[in-house]
Amino acid sequence: MPYSKHRIYILAILLFSATIFSCNYKNNSRQIARIDYRLSGCFADYKSKLIIYEKEGNTFAKLLTDKNSNMFSQVRLNPQKVEKLNLFIKELKNLKGDIGCTTVEYYTVYINDEKIIKVDGGCDWRGYSKLESLIFN
């Protein structure tokens, strides 16, 4: 019985994999990216989470805000909006993180196996608010 421990581990792994597969199969969606955003300043305080996911061959965006995390907006993204999202991520990666504004924006982006953290205290870019407006309006 020297293999009984190994059999138990293999069985546990197979059961875990089957559970994950069935959950993904039921939901039939795959998260592509998540943007955690916070804006804080003298005249504003705002938090939101933008989740990009794929379902049945289509790309969707879901927005959860701090006002009511149970309420959200959801839209299907066309190729132009996906391109704007890619441009936002590229610009965010290159963001210098200026200072001088009373409002500070905090970004944490999870995409693939990458985590991008940026803080911007400048008054010029406002990339997230532009992206949110473009996607949901």
Residue 7 lies in a domain: no
20-62: per-residue pLDDT in tens? 333 443 467 899 999 999 999 988 888 999 999 999 999 999 9
Tokens 């504004």, residue? 101
| pLDDT attached to residue 71 | 60
97 pLDDT more than 80: no
- pTM comes to 0.74
Number of domains within the chain: 1
Residue 116 lies in a domain: yes
| pLDDT attached to residue 96 | 85
DSSP labels for 24-70? HHHH-EEEEEEEEEEEESSS-EEEEEEEEEEETTEEEEEEEETT-TT
What is the separation of C-alpha 5 from the centre of its chain, rounded to a whole number of angstroms? Answer: 39
| pLDDT attached to residue 9 | 42
3-state secondary structure 91-137: HHHHCCCCCCCCCEEEEEEEECCEEEEEEECCCCCCHHHHHHHHHHC
Which of 17-26, 68-77, 108-117 has the largest mean confidence? 108-117
Sign (positive/negative) of CA torsion 44, 36, 25, 76? positive
Task: Name the pairing type of β-strands 104-111 and 114-120.
Answer: antiparallel
If you average pLDDT over every residue of the chain, what do you get? Answer: 81
Report residue 127 as tokens. Answer: 């990339």
2 pLDDT more than 90: no
Q: Tell me the residue range of the domain where 72 lies.
A: 28-136
Residue 109 lies in a domain: yes
Residue 121 lies in a domain: yes
Residue 35 lies in a domain: yes
